[in-house]
Amino acid sequence: MENQVEQQELNNKNSKQNLSDIFDILSGIGLVGGAVGSFLGNAAFATVPISFSVALQIANRRQLKVDLAQLQQSAIVQMSHQMDNNQSVILEQFKQLRQESENQLNQQDQKIQKVVSELSDKITNNQESCNKLTVEKVQLNQLTHSLESQLTKIQDVVQTLQQIENFSQVIRNNPDGVDAYYERGLSHQKLGDKTGAIEDYTEALHLDSTYAKAYHNRGILLAEMGNKKQAVEDLRLAAKYYFDQGDIESYEKARNLSKEFYEVRHYVVDDETINSMISEESIKEENSSGDMNLITIGNLFEEDGNADESISMLG
């Protein structure tokens, strides 16, 4: 359709061009005729062709102006159509480009979301691993502390056993060494061997009946073992000999303990309550002396909180 319109416009343009050419030819003929008439001396005859030629030229110029205006209008219309077509093409290309850009952005967003999700999962896993490592570290520290505590207790036991062996060697070399018996009794008491400790304290008292510390410690052990009567007697003797030796502080401790144990013996309470009261009082009183700690082998590998219950201070 557009080709036909263009062909028709081209034909009209050629026709107008031919008409203009004809006007130019006729105008030229009129000018030649006027020139011939003027040459022949007939002025009237020469005026007519010239006038006709001028009229043709004016008509031709008007026609040219009209044709030029039409050409301009046609060019404007054509350019307008071309611009419309170009605008449509540009809009279509813009839509395609926009669609492609949106698709690319969507793909990039999906990739970014995937990467973010993977990183989030890794961070979560790392956090869980850190928390697990922290818990394991705490557990390891607790285990290390427990092992160190047990090692310290074992070292204390070994040291105490070595002391017992050393005191035994001293006793073998000198059976009358009263201090060796007393010190070995302290070592037995530290290990929780109450019977062995009482035997050594008793042997020391056989060698020296005024040994106040031996009475004191044996009285505490007898009270813990339920022999409260003998315990009160030992503590009274300990207080007496402390006083004779001028050790007033130890004298007051032994005297106070003997009074408390004596009063406990006269309370109408069951044996379990009495034993508990005696044990608590003796531990409380002897803790203030600060001489040494009791090590119980049977409780060596118990938890620290329970092991503390088996520790007592000796006089």
Q: What is the DSSP string of 9-62?
A: HHHHHHHHHHHHHHHHHHHHHHHHHHHHHHHHT-HHHHHHHHHHHHHHHHHHHH
Distance separating alpha carbons of residues 34 and 47, to the nearest angstrom: 6
Contact 314, 190 (CB under 8 A): yes
Distance separating alpha carbons of residues 213 and 233, to the nearest angstrom: 14
How confident is the model at residue 239, as a pLDDT?
A: 93
Of 277, 279, 264, 270, nearest to 224 (Cα)?
279
How confident is the model at residue 216, as a pLDDT?
A: 95
How confident is the model at residue 309, as a pLDDT?
A: 33
3 state SS of 173: helix
Identity (one letter) of the amino acid at 110?
Q
Distance separating alpha carbons of residues 174 and 167, to the nearest angstrom: 10
For the chain, residues with pLDDT lower than 70 are 1-57, 59-60, 264-315
How confident is the model at residue 172, as a pLDDT?
A: 93
Distance separating alpha carbons of residues 297 and 305, to the nearest angstrom: 15
Distance separating alpha carbons of residues 218 and 175, to the nearest angstrom: 20
Say how many CA atoms lie within 13 Å of 72 toward its Cβ.
6
How confident is the model at residue 83, as a pLDDT?
A: 84
How confident is the model at residue 204, as a pLDDT?
A: 94
How confident is the model at residue 118, as a pLDDT?
A: 87
How confident is the model at residue 307, as a pLDDT?
A: 34
How confident is the model at residue 286, as a pLDDT?
A: 46
Distance separating alpha carbons of residues 126 and 133, to the nearest angstrom: 10
CA dihedral 98, 104, 106, 112 (to 10 degrees): -150
> Which token pair is 300?
């060596």
Distance separating alpha carbons of residues 125 and 178, to the nearest angstrom: 69
How confident is the model at residue 259, as a pLDDT?
A: 86
- Please state, as a whole number, how many other Cβ atoms lie within 10 Å of the Cβ of residue 55: 14
How confident is the model at residue 20, as a pLDDT?
A: 61
Helices (H), 178-307: 178-190, 194-207, 212-224, 228-245, 248-265, 271-287, 304-307
How confident is the model at residue 288, as a pLDDT?
A: 44
How confident is the model at residue 55, as a pLDDT?
A: 67
Distance separating alpha carbons of residues 164 and 150, to the nearest angstrom: 21
Identity (one letter) of the amino acid at 81?
H
| Cα–Cα distances in angstroms (integers) from residue 237 to residues 18, 142, 241, 258, in the given order | 161, 47, 6, 10
**Per-residue pLDDT tens over the stretch 154-209:** 988 999 999 999 999 999 999 998 999 999 999 999 999 999 999 999 999 999 99
